[in-house]
Structure 1
Amino acid sequence: MILEDFLRINANGIYCRYGDFYLDPKEPVDKAIISHAHADHAVSGNNNVYATAATIAFMQLRYGKSAGKVIYSAAYHAPFNVGGVQVTFISAGHMPGSAQILMEYQSTRYLYTGDYKLQPDATCEPMQFVEADVLITETTFANPDTAHPDPVEEIKKLNDIKINILLGAYSLGKSQRLIRMINDYAPQKKILVHHRIMPINAIYQKMGFELGKHQMYGRKLMKTQEEWVYIVPPFTFDSYLRATGVKRLFASGWKNLQVNVNDTLYISDHADWNDIIYTINQTRPKQVWTLHGDGKQLKDYLKNDIFVKLLN
């Protein structure tokens, strides 16, 4: 039997009272199950943290000792128990260590996707599908008009830009994916990386994800036109608003983050509309609960087939 109150949203985030834990809490809590290490899903200061080893490594790099007082690491497909709820991590394909969180309670399976993507990515584990009674899915891009382009064709656009490029990207996940893709599909480019990104890259290397050639940014290097691509986090990208002698691009699935009319770089790490529908078909849920976006169009689309509840 599906418990309609299995998850509830409160001031701290997504709460499961049956296991007395939170999923990706917004504020520090006693027991936090973390899907992945991006800051909007993994806050510091929790007492007990449950996550994959990769997620814990990234959190410890970012937060140090405040990553969590007591940390429990679990591999994919290795069930563990939290407050009477059996929990299993399933690869989400979003970034290294990203996990869907399968919760089994009273013979009912609830699957929280966290952030996920279906597009191929050589810098993280691929998305895996499991069946569940309830699919709790992100709906960041749950719009029938949204279809992410082929990321390979997007990155190949860099081949046509012959001047230096200032490439904005989030430090964790996106930057590493771009480094690998540029090496694979625009190999004549020379990649420079902001100093805050380099320690993250080192964790990738330790986990066995090869990124390819890149080096630390040097001011003198960018003064020469040698088809440099300088990858920087958003705060640095914004400070170069009036930069000359470079083409400014921001890699994102969001239209509002594209900074040029003629040169765009639509590379998303989330599921688009077709990916969400495909995931529902693979998961075969009796109900779909939505989070992290507007699920109204999904609810309307599935109204004759599957019950959809908007949690946020």
Structure 2
Amino acid sequence: MIIDDFLVLNENGLYCRTGKFYLDPVKPVTHAVISHAHGDHAVKGNDTVYCTAPTEAIMRHRYQKNAGNDFINYSFNTPFVLGGVKITFIPAGHIIGSAQVLMEYENVRYLYTGDYKLQDDPTCEKMEFVPADVLITETTFADPAVQHPDAGEEIRKLNDFNHNVLLGSYSLGKAQRLISLITEHCPQRSVLVHHSILPLNKIYESFGYHPGKYELYTRKSMKQAGQNLVYIVPPLTFDSYIRAKNVVRAFASGWKRLQVNNGLELLISDHVDWNDILYMMGQVKPKEVWTLHGNGKYLREHFINQIPVKLLNAC
């Protein structure tokens, strides 16, 4: 029987009462099961962190001594038990080391997706599907009006001109994927990366995921117009270069609002869209769906009188 309050939201985040642990807590806690290393899912200062090895490596790089008191990492598809709950990390395809968290208790399977992506991405582990009784899914783009275009088609827009490009990107996950996409689809382009991206690339490479061809940015390079250069920078740097000359500005994101006032629209997302979530449900075949990180109202309306959809972040 599905336990309705198996997971509850409180001031620290999503709590598993039975196992006495948190999933991606928003504040430091005693036992934190971390799906992936993005800052909105992996806070510093937890007592004990359970995660994959790449997630640990990135958290230690970013947070240094404050990363957490103790890390216990597990390979994908290797079960462990926490507070009587059997836990297994399943590849989520979002960034390197990103995991869905399968929790099994009293013959019921609860699958927490964290952030996940179905599109192909050679810079991280490929998404895997497992059956579950309850699917706890992110709903960042869970709107029938949102359908992400093919990432390869989007990046090939860079082939339409030879101007240098100032490309805004999140440093972890998106930047490495962009390097890979440009290497494959825009071979005439040279990729320069911001200094903050370089150590993350090195972590990717240490786990066998080589993004592609890139070099460290130099100020002199970008001042030369028409060199087919792409300079990948984090959001703060992108915003500070609002008046940059001799470049086309673009920001790679699934959010339309981040495309405003740019010279080029690049709708490249590392999250699932509406059709992806429906496909995910077809593979998982849940009896119930619980939603997080966005608005699950469209899913609830779509599956009314078919599958119960509970909005955890509306509780």
Same-fold call, TM cutoff 0.5: yes
Q: In 2 relative to 1, CA 68–271 (structure 1 residues): closer, same or farther, beyond 3 Å?
A: same
Structure 2 gaps of 5+ residues are: none
State the shift of 1:311 in Å: 0.1
Question: Paired residue for 2:185?
Answer: 185
Matched, 1:240 2:257: no
Matched, 1:71 2:62: no
Question: Paired residue for 1:61?
Answer: 61
Question: Paired residue for 2:26?
Answer: 26
Q: Percent identity, aligned pairs only?
A: 61
- Name the amino acid aligned to 2:242: L
- Name the amino acid aligned to 1:108: V
Match of 2:109, SS state, is strand
- Name the amino acid aligned to 2:106: Q
Question: Paired residue for 2:231?
Answer: 230
Alignment of 1:104-253 (within 5 A): 104-225=104-225, 226-253=227-254
Greater than 6 Å deviation, 4+ residue runs: none
Match of 1:292, SS state, is strand
Alignment of 1:240-279 (within 5 A): 240-260=241-261, 263-279=264-280
- Per-residue Cα deviation, 1:77-124 (whole angstroms, up to 9, x for no partner): 000011111100000000010000000011110000000010000100
Match of 2:265, SS state, is coil
Question: Paired residue for 1:288?
Answer: 289
State the shift of 1:68 in Å: 1.3
CA contact (8 A) 2:110 2:134 kept: yes
State the shift of 1:15 in Å: 0.4
Match of 1:230, SS state, is strand
The two structures have a TM-score, normalised by structure 2, of 0.98
Match of 2:9, SS state, is strand
CA contact (8 A) 1:100 1:112 kept: yes
State the shift of 1:300 in Å: 0.5
Rounded to whole Å, the distance in 1 between the matches of 2:280 and 2:268 is 20
- Name the amino acid aligned to 1:299: R
State the shift of 1:150 in Å: 0.5
- Name the amino acid aligned to 1:109: R
RMSD between superposed Cα atoms in Å: 0.8
- Name the amino acid aligned to 1:176: Q
Rounded to whole Å, the distance in 2 between the matches of 1:169 and 1:256 is 14
Question: Paired residue for 1:9?
Answer: 9
CA contact (8 A) 1:249 1:259 kept: no
Bigger mean CA deviation after superposition, 276-285 or 62-71:
62-71
Match of 1:270, SS state, is coil
Rounded to whole Å, the distance in 2 between the matches of 1:260 and 1:91 is 36
Match of 1:69, SS state, is strand
CA contact (8 A) 1:190 1:228 kept: yes
Size of the alignment, in residue pairs?
Answer: 312
CA contact (8 A) 2:250 2:262 kept: no
Rounded to whole Å, the distance in 2 between the matches of 1:263 and 1:83 is 50
- Name the amino acid aligned to 2:153: E
Rounded to whole Å, the distance in 2 between the matches of 1:122 and 1:14 is 30
Match of 2:46, SS state, is coil
State the shift of 1:244 in Å: 1.4
Structure 1 gaps of 5+ residues are: none
- Name the amino acid aligned to 1:52: T
Rounded to whole Å, the distance in 2 between the matches of 1:165 and 1:6 is 48
Rounded to whole Å, the distance in 2 between the matches of 1:49 and 1:101 is 14
State the shift of 1:304 in Å: 2.2
CA contact (8 A) 1:140 1:270 kept: yes
CA contact (8 A) 1:194 1:230 kept: yes
Rounded to whole Å, the distance in 2 between the matches of 1:66 and 1:72 is 16
- Name the amino acid aligned to 2:245: T
Rounded to whole Å, the distance in 2 between the matches of 1:211 and 1:130 is 28
Question: Paired residue for 2:89?
Answer: 89
Rounded to whole Å, the distance in 2 between the matches of 1:41 and 1:266 is 23
- Per-residue Cα deviation, 1:22-42 (whole angstroms, up to 9, x for no partner): 000000000000000000000
State the shift of 1:305 in Å: 1.2
State the shift of 1:181 in Å: 0.6
